[in-house]
Chains A and B, each alone.
Chain A
């Protein structure tokens, strides 16, 4: 019975070989070939000219990830302490925006952040702009928010925050309460309980959250195009331009994609060392 059943996987194994493994091999081959097909390392040396883009991508993705941890951890922690009913509702509320396409979610910020957008109108009404002008001696009519790096980071945080909250929450909520009680019985105060017991035990959730925020942030191109106005190029934009944009150069694009794959592999290795990573990802 068992041996017979294993043949059921055969079509999918062929499918994977064709559409998962072969394309990735193509990326590797392209990354090491020149335009006329010869072997070369040139694509990687040429990446040096884009060091600024690499730096910017890592900087913005890191900032967004840090902000997500800073917001996501306390929120998950507070959520896990509430009653079951509250947890359920809060969970649905956090998941709900994720059901809307991220382009639409990003678009909503496009209109809010505009120079004469609602946020600037609000700032004007409550006098924040006037206050800023009087403190810094400037003469601003509005804050320039759209087409800045800050806007891109905001877009990343807004889109990927749920990816941080969910894994952390699911780890904290499963914590063994007898451990917390034991720590308290042994004389730890709340701070120590948190620092010595809860924090180390919730680390796998934080790590998988970090991966799930960092990887899409560092590889995004739509968010940076929409909120960064095309001036704040990120790695994703760079890749996109090599394939579909004006700067057609699939070899270079493949090389950058290969670097991105290596980043993902590194993230996975780090996560697997702490175990449980896979299960967290599955949950979403």
Chain B
């Protein structure tokens, strides 16, 4: 058991220690320095890809959370015979190997752009207004891909909450004079809110963490942090990567600690309310 934890953490520990190394080597200790952190912060490529990652993850999470919540409610209201096949399709991006999802979307985008080019040049001859004839993969396709693989996770965390909800609540609200719009906002949404929140969190982590699907759908104009890191490891070993790892690890650790402390507090508060 302890060995497993050693196996899991020793490499990360070494990574962190050598991010403070003065030399370029990742195996010979040459003294303490913050050199690599400085280099990291002045590395425009990394800063740029970090902001791309954050932006795409944020936008994808917002879109996927809203779309996924509505979709989950819609699925919930459907008859079983309609819902089951749709849920199967919904599960495809989660179960499929990432590389297949990435490749299939890449093919689709390329084919669509070809078709679009033909359409746009035809349309431009009409002289109404000019459409761009050459579209390429970039931030837009990256965002579409992220939304697509995020929505299933939102649906999967909202769905169970809908099933747990007391169905009489909605009827009661309407009996008491709510329109169904009001019933939706004042009853359903608050009831499933925990599911929405956890779905959004899952979606965000999935987006931040994704490499493979981004790799195939971002084209050459947009690059996420993971893609930049992959490019760096291809060239040669660089302590800057150690520095990124350390910063990310500390960020994750802090976030997890905050979430856990909040949960513990909420549990305590819930206990107090009950007694």
Is there contact, CB below 8 Å, between B68 and A12? yes
Q: Which of B98, B147, B249 contacts A219 (CB 8 A)?
A: B98
Is there contact, CB below 8 Å, between B108 and A12? no
Q: How many A-B residue pairs have CB under 8 A?
A: 215
Q: Shortest distance in angstroms between A72's beta carbon and chain B's nearest beta carbon?
A: 9
Cα-based distance from A100 to B249 in the complex (angstroms): 6
Q: How many interface residues does chain B have, given as a range?
A: 35 or more
Cα-based distance from A110 to B101 in the complex (angstroms): 27
Is there contact, CB below 8 Å, between B111 and A26? yes
Q: Most B CB atoms within 10 A — which of A100, A105, A110?
A: A100
Q: Which of A4, A71, A111, A221 contacts B14 (CB 8 A)?
A: A111
Q: Shortest distance in angstroms between A169's beta carbon and chain B's nearest beta carbon?
A: 12
Contact surface of A with B, Cβ cutoff 8 Å: 1-13, 15-16, 19-24, 26-27, 30, 71, 75, 78-79, 90, 92-94, 96-97, 99-112, 114, 116-118, 121, 158, 161, 215-216, 218-222, 225-226, 236, 239-240, 243-244, 250, 253-254, 257, 260-261, 264, 268, 278, 281-282
Nearest residue (CB) in A for B229 is A103
Instruction: Check: B151 CB closer than 8 A to any chain A CB.
Output: yes
Instruction: Check: B46 CB closer than 8 A to any chain A CB.
Output: no
Nearest residue (CB) in B for A12 is B71
User: Contact string, B211-222, partner A, CB cutoff 8 A, digits 1/0?
Assistant: 110011000000
Known contacts: A26-B107, A104-B248, A257-B100. The answer to whether A121 contacts B211 by CB under 8 A is: no
Is there contact, CB below 8 Å, between A108 and B245? yes
Is there contact, CB below 8 Å, between A96 and B234? no
- Tell me the chain B residues, 230-275 only, with Cβ under 8 Å from chain A: 230, 233-234, 237, 241, 244-245, 248-249, 252-253, 256, 260
Q: Shortest distance in angstroms between A88's beta carbon and chain B's nearest beta carbon?
A: 9
Q: Shortest distance in angstroms between A82's beta carbon and chain B's nearest beta carbon?
A: 9
- Tell me the chain B residues, 27-82 only, with Cβ under 8 Å from chain A: 27, 67-68, 70-71, 73-78, 82
A-chain residues with CB within 8 Å of residue B142 when the two chains form the complex = none
Q: Shortest distance in angstroms between B110's beta carbon and chain A's nearest beta carbon?
A: 8
User: Contact string, B122-153, partner A, CB cutoff 8 A, digits 1/0?
Assistant: 00000000000000000000001101100100
Q: Shortest distance in angstroms between B159's beta carbon and chain A's nearest beta carbon?
A: 9
Known contacts: A100-B248, A257-B100. The answer to whether A222 contacts B94 by CB under 8 A is: no
Q: Shortest distance in angstroms between A47's beta carbon and chain B's nearest beta carbon?
A: 15
Is there contact, CB below 8 Å, between A118 and B230? no
Instruction: Check: B5 CB closer than 8 A to any chain A CB.
Output: yes
Is there contact, CB below 8 Å, between A96 and B256? yes
Instruction: Check: B15 CB closer than 8 A to any chain A CB.
Output: yes
Is there contact, CB below 8 Å, between B9 and A97? yes
Q: Shortest distance in angstroms between B261's beta carbon and chain A's nearest beta carbon?
A: 13
Is there contact, CB below 8 Å, between A264 and B96? yes
A-chain residues with CB within 8 Å of residue B215 when the two chains form the complex = 244
Known contacts: A103-B230, A118-B14. The answer to whether A10 contacts B74 by CB under 8 A is: yes
User: 14 more A-B contacts (CB under 8 A) besides A118-B14, A158-B7?
Assistant: A2-B77, A4-B77, A12-B67, A20-B148, A92-B260, A99-B252, A99-B256, A104-B229, A108-B245, A114-B27, A216-B97, A221-B99, A260-B97, A264-B97
A-chain residues with CB within 8 Å of residue B229 when the two chains form the complex = 101, 103-104, 107
